[in-house]
Amino acid sequence: MTASYRFTICSPQSRVQENGRCITKLENMGFRVGQGLIERFTKDTARFKDELDIMKFICKDFWTTVFKKQIDNLRTNHQGIYVLQDNKFRLLTQMSAGKQYLEHASKYLAFTCGLIRGGLSNLGIKSIVTAEVSSMPACKFQVMIQKL
């Protein structure tokens, strides 16, 4: 029995493209999960009054159910931008705090960005969610509401 192996040498550019595709897939998976979770969590709750009430629900109830703690800080400019800060984000606590690992953090945050975006989508809010890590394991999620 003989085995043949095929090795492909990837250029740095193709690795970057593949990494981008993986992050997009993770974000899309998070979106679908977020939609499903919000549907289940809000099944027996009263309607939300406004956008801020929805964001408070995401920061308290949704985050507690998913990550076993509330968001540490919620800020807004009252013009459709919200910043959710988690000082000890559960998915980053096991990673080393060295600066060389910061670039890998995006892989762990893409799913969560999708989770937030999917949850908001099912509550009638179209948004763009981005994440930023300046020091591990703290991270900030910026939610930009898309006005229709």
Domains identified in the chain and CATH numbers: 11-43+70-143 (3.30.1380.20)
Determine the 3-state secondary structure of 82 from DSSP.
strand
Q: How does pLDDT run across 82-111, given as a tens digit for each residue?
A: 999 999 998 888 877 767 677 777 788 999
Q: How does pLDDT run across 45-62, given as a tens digit for each residue?
A: 888 999 999 999 999 999
Q: Which two tokens stand for residue 79?
A: 């013009």
Q: Is the pLDDT score of 77 beyond 70?
A: yes
pTM: 0.84
pLDDT value for 12: 53
pLDDT value for 143: 98
120: number of Cβ within 10 Å: 26
Q: Which residue has the higher pLDDT, 46 or 114?
A: 114
